Structure 1
């Protein structure tokens, strides 16, 4: 994957809910097709920031997904080779974690001594999430190789000249009291919001104000309809039609991500896909780039 020179670019490395596509153990038509034809595989939701103004380019991930080894490979051209380890990619400059759920942290396991064996990799997360990593013996061999950096909600963090990132708390199921964040990224020219998970728009009073303040908003599109749950109890995610009704009128470029494998917007011949595009809202795709 190539990137424009002397630019800050946000790039989508995955669009799916935590389990990806195909979903483990699922034999719905969509997942069965992906098992039969791996080219139809889609990775769990992930965003990267690439700053080619620097040498070597700065590379940051948002979330460490179960598909991290494939997602880092998509960035091979800008990561380059490790300076001391032949045939190994250079590690990214850091990883930001939105929250502690599986699809956003499971990739950390690939960074430990059994796999990538990173050294001093910076992990940016809420203090409570960092403390949870420190307190979990399973993570001990990995944590020794990381620099856990606490994020202060609402406080911008400078990554490079004219490149800042700010964590903003959002409501999302929180089994461990570690919280969930969305990230607002301010580049030299444009602002982007990355919000893969939220429970309910009504529970976040600042939603419309914050979405209107950015140029691009990548938002939770887990489900299109409650019918996708097949009789299971309701899951706390906003439905796509509600998101469109609330925000499609904004001047912001609205892009749907974190899509569950059951969601019909994945099918270009579905009424749901047609309705989304008719509204002017976009459906994210792996490799999609946004100049900041």
Structure 2
């Protein structure tokens, strides 16, 4: 199984267009040892030709242009994208579908709650009816295995995560299973497994079990501290309030991942304020010492 990180940043990417935080300012001024990142998305394939996208960020066009394996190969109009799987209905994970409107109907796999959001509060599916149209395929949240036509030798299991629906959602303050999911992606022929969860606010028992039973983790790396946005006077909300487990501190992601001895561990969905983006920072050195990687655009993993 080949995994391609299309984008490793959180909403807004890095640098964020209107942000003058220490990270963004120093990157723009050439005073920063680190990489720019577009907004979070990955793609997987077993044949390097037919690809399943996980989320479609607003940066999808640039991400596809930077990835020759997914670009047109045959005919006037062509793509290596066979289907899209949505982890949630957040704007920074879904609006890229608008950039794919010129092609064939989009086969989109998502939960019923995500479908409701994308046909009501943010009627993306409805808008696309006049362009490519969307073929919706429902996902259950109980780890019932399913396969996707055209993505050979792959089996997927999804489970619900504790989270909030997006601010625009009609049920923002009425959480449901399926607002946000984690997925286990298994290559059937080899048994190799990836756990992908870019938005992870709490380590529930079934989440920890998934982490312990896979070969590679690609999980929420949004914030270093719970008060990161508050301390930088960017927001009054803490990381856990908006559904992201910080890396540091008691019960943080580093502590969790230290208890997962056998998997490759990668953080993705990195916010522009997070000091781990600076490869010279003490926070990044802490991750290095713990054997935890930080995803970047273009990272490829053969599992």
Give the structure 2 partner of residue 229 of structure 1: 229
Partners of 1:34 and 1:68 lie apart in 2 by: 22
8 Å contact kept, 2:7–2:37: yes
Partners of 2:64 and 2:134 lie apart in 1 by: 17
Give the alignment of 1:13-24 within 5 angstroms: 13-24=6-17
Cα shift at 1:257:
0.9
Please give the per-residue CA displacement for 1:204-231, whole angstroms capped at 9, x wherever unaligned.
2222211001000111011111342134
Partners of 2:29 and 2:91 lie apart in 1 by: 25
Given the two structures, how large is their TM-score scaled by the length of structure 1? 0.85
Does the C-alpha gap of structure 1 residues 138 and 217 become closer, same or farther in structure 2, counting only changes over 3 Å?
Answer: closer
Give the structure 2 partner of residue 152 of structure 1: 140
- RMSD of Structure 2 on Structure 1 (CA): 2.2
Give the structure 2 partner of residue 141 of structure 1: 127
Does the C-alpha gap of structure 1 residues 130 and 138 become closer, same or farther in structure 2, counting only changes over 3 Å?
Answer: closer
Which structure has more helix as a fraction of its residues?
1
Cα shift at 1:273:
0.3
Give the alignment of 1:118-129 within 5 angstroms: 118-129=103-114
Partners of 2:27 and 2:57 lie apart in 1 by: 19
Partners of 1:171 and 1:234 lie apart in 2 by: 16
Does the C-alpha gap of structure 1 residues 128 and 249 become closer, same or farther in structure 2, counting only changes over 3 Å?
Answer: closer
Cα shift at 1:137:
4.8
Matched pairs, number? 272
Does the C-alpha gap of structure 1 residues 211 and 143 become closer, same or farther in structure 2, counting only changes over 3 Å?
Answer: farther
Give the structure 2 partner of residue 103 of structure 1: 92
Give the structure 2 partner of residue 77 of structure 1: 69
Does the C-alpha gap of structure 1 residues 138 and 15 become closer, same or farther in structure 2, counting only changes over 3 Å?
Answer: closer
Partners of 1:266 and 1:19 lie apart in 2 by: 14
Structure 1 gaps of 5+ residues are: 1-7
Cα shift at 1:100:
0.8
Given the two structures, how large is their TM-score scaled by the length of structure 2? 0.82
